[in-house]
A and B are shown apart, each in its own frame.
Chain A
Amino acid sequence: MPSYETIAFRAQDCDGCMKCVTACAQAKSGADDPAQSRIQILGAAGKWELALCRQCGDPKCVSNCPSAALAKDAETGVVAWDADRCVDCLLCTVGCAYAGITRDARVGHVSKCDLCDGDPACVKACDRGALTLNTAARIHRRAAEREDLFAPGLAACQGCNSELLIRHTLRHVGPNTVVATPPGCIPGMGTVGYNGRTGTKVPVFHPLLTNTASMLTGIKRYYKRVGRDDVQVLALAGDGGTSDAGFQSLSGAAERDEPMLYICVDNEGYMNTGMQASSATTYGSWTSTTPVGERLQGKSTEAKNLPVVMMTHNCSYVATAATAFLEDFYEKLDKAIEVSKTGMAYLHVFAPCPTGWRFGSDRTTDVCRLAVETNFFALWDYTPDAGLTFTRPTGRPRPVREYLAGIGKYRHLSEGQVAHIQATVERKIAHLRRFERTGA
């Protein structure tokens, strides 16, 4: 089944200006009358809501139509309405929970959003970014059309998002690449290979924990010297290999702004060797080296804030990402690939570990989402010129308790520890805000 574009609404970004409503009325009926708009914004300041056709995948309006006047277009995904067949019975409106198809009394029949042939007037009129043509599906499809440069049958734990992450990364980075995977889960799941065969369709190697960034530096410089500057070098490293033993060489490469793409897949510890703590392990986490007992209640120190550390090096680009927000990740990945032709791009990607953190393997995406929505793991990107930009709103976070609640490694937390984590989250966000671009 093809995937389609739809109009997405971010209530928190809507200021009720009604420009979308006017634009739709203009586009569809040549009038300014808001009643003739197919998009309606309702409610009151601070809590605007939307009535609009969602172009459902399994549209009830279509099922309810006795005259075959409605059909979902297999090509565009638009639920299309045929004036000639419509008998004005309104049974379609019975099926719609969104008020996305309603009767326009002036014209004497129902009307609904048709996505303006793929270029919606309302989206163009929205200057706050509250309405977007959600191209997530198209981007996923684009990713799927590219060659998967990993071999089938990698053996990550059930529910691990790293496999998804590295497959999609390499699809974007492309075949003209040399990959480094220092010790960690990613080589552990078979990417460097077994029995003399690699798990990738591009050259891959296994540096030491300590020297990933310096080895990539050398490889890139060698290729440059032989006239093949187009070869991309890529690190797929864990947080241990990045923020502990690997940090010295990483710091050097960042200081020199070496052209490379370095991706840190952060599962907050050494999860493939028995769940030991790393410097990226968060405060309060149970690990096998920060146990819960009479004295110790999980890790007693804060995690090293590596993305911020990298931001204050000399990198050309630094960003954070979480796989619950793949579109956001793709955007950053594309920027990073571009930047890494001339300088260092560092991506820090959140990788909750069902095995080591102890949560259900079906919950990884939920855990990612909650981490972002509680500001526990904020999404942003940074360039030295533009400063820091949050790519998901941080203004109205959920309490961090909601994130911690479902994760086994935090099960023992006392109220005081939860309050401590909440305060840390708030302090870290306030700190990040100081790097935000101000003014235009």
Chain B
Amino acid sequence: MPHTRYLVVGASHAGLEAVTAIRHWDAEGSLTVLSREAHRPYSPTILPYVVSGRSRPERVALKDAAWFEARKVDLRCGEEVVSIDTAGAVARTASGTEWRYERLLLATGAAPAVPPVPGLADVRFHVLRTLDDALALRDAGAGATTAVVLGAGLVGLHAAEVLAKAGARVAVVERQAHALPGYLDAPAAGIVEAAFRDRGIALMTGRTVSSVQSRDGRPVSVTLDDGGTLPADLLLVGTGVRPATGFLEGSGIAVGQGILVDDTMRTNIADVWAAGDVAQARAFFGAAPIVNGILPDAVEQGRIAGMAMAGDPALKPYIGGLPINTFPFFGRHAVSVGIAGEDDPSVEIHRRLDARAGLYSRLSLKDGRLIGVCTVGMPIDAGVMWQLISRRVDLAPVKQDFVVAPLDTGRALMSRLWR
């Protein structure tokens, strides 16, 4: 039975960052990474660009073989973990290999959550989470004249833009009242929606799909809850993701929405950690733990898990997941960090909106501290804002300047803080 000190399952942002962190502290301990993917490690976030052709699939690898070699990491591609025996500290893969580990990291990410729509199970529809998904969608998109996208989240909107640019007539169905719910506030989403509609993409917000019709296993039309129908020779489901925890059945590892972890990303089992889209961890705002499901947090959690696994004394506990996103659309950007706090009367909200020019900014402050920023079409340093929010920097002394010029004031503040 092969034995390894560190076993990392999943070779994406969380897993690779953990590898880096482990090697900062422990240069030698045997380290094995198991990836279900046949491809070299890549990021799911790159996939819309693979579909559009902007990124060539052979150029998306996050790290090359030399990177793993230099770090003495044994990367095994095409190895899917199918069960874990936590009592024996053994992970079994689909190929039948059993790996004995001393410390285990689960960084298996998330998989598309497909809603129970009548007829959907009988047709060939697309999702977008793996490189193979992207290649299939790219090929299908080239021939499609009409496409329906379920969900106006990051995946759905990215794909809708790409499909529209490829020449298809695209409709997006979103159950919530506006696009990118949870990421953008309503005015920002309004600008994004307008940009999509301007390019002929039908955005049906506040609607659900009640059934899918097909012919010869191919989708032909989609019926909405209001009775309307949409033609569809390509159907993409982008209604969200679910942490990839299926293989943990019977392992004793506690799972809520995702794998439940503490502030060092440790699960309820002492020698098992989890990080990234698969993990459910402390939230920065609010008491209930969340699956944050974003790339920067996968990196952050991966680093913490790696440090904890290696016993690095420099480890600082997780401060909690903070929503943060950048959304590029038609060459423009929406950026959102933190929360809007619209339902909290003690939150001071400063908005500027020029809907015609497509420009928007919102700053949310509570007790003199920043809790959220959202901009469209305006320069903003998301990382600086993240620091100001997460460090709870007191902005009272510079509030006037900050509200007028958040960019420069934020930069000057951070520069001073760092010195």
Contact = CB atoms under 8 A, between A and B. Distances in A.
A66 B414 contact: no
A92 B20 CA distance: 18
A91 B414 contact: no
Interface stretch (A93-101, A143-151, A237-245): A93-101
Interface in A53-97: 58, 60, 63-64, 66-68, 84-85, 87-91, 93-97
Nearest to B391: A97
B342 interface: no
A196 interface: no
Interface stretch (B130-138, B218-226, B284-292, B327-335): B327-335
Given A88-B328, A97-B414, A42 B408 contact: yes
Nearest to B43: A66
Contacts of B331: 88, 108
B25 to A, nearest CB: 12
Interface in B14-71: 17, 20, 24, 43-46, 49, 54-55, 59-63
B59 A96 contact: no
A136 interface: no
Choose among A11, A47, A68 the residue with the greatest number of B CB atoms under 10 Å from its CB.
A68
A37 to B, nearest CB: 13
B48 to A, nearest CB: 8
Choose among B63, B299, B419 the residue with the greatest number of A CB atoms under 10 Å from its CB.
B299
A417 interface: no
Choose among A67, A88, A96, A108 the residue with the greatest number of B CB atoms under 10 Å from its CB.
A67
Choose among A49, A94, A97, A105 the residue with the greatest number of B CB atoms under 10 Å from its CB.
A94
Interface residues of A, number: 33
Contacts of B296: 60, 64, 91, 94-95
B356 interface: no
Q: How large is the interface on B (under 10, 10 to 19, 20 to 34, 35 or more residues)?
A: 35 or more
Contacts of A108: 331
B27 to A, nearest CB: 11
A84 to B, nearest CB: 8
Given A90-B328, A99-B384, A103-B379, A66 B415 contact: no
A64 B381 contact: no
B326 A94 contact: yes
Interface in B370-419: 379, 381-384, 386-387, 408, 410-412, 414-416, 418-419
Given A67-B46, A67-B60, A85-B59, A94 B412 contact: no
Which 9 interchain pairs have the tightest Cβ spacing? Answer: A66-B43, A49-B415, A66-B45, A90-B326, A96-B383, A49-B412, A51-B411, A99-B381, A42-B412
19 contacts: A47-B412, A49-B415, A60-B383, A63-B303, A66-B45, A66-B46, A66-B295, A67-B43, A84-B59, A85-B59, A90-B328, A91-B326, A93-B382, A93-B383, A94-B296, A94-B324, A97-B384, A98-B415, A98-B418
Interface of B: 13, 17, 20, 24, 43-46, 49, 54-55, 59-63, 295-296, 299, 303, 324, 326, 328, 331, 333, 335, 337, 379, 381-384, 386-387, 408, 410-412, 414-416, 418-419
Given A88-B331, A90-B382, A95-B383, 14 more contacts: A40-B411, A42-B408, A64-B296, A66-B43, A66-B295, A67-B46, A68-B62, A89-B45, A91-B326, A93-B383, A95-B296, A98-B384, A99-B410, A105-B379
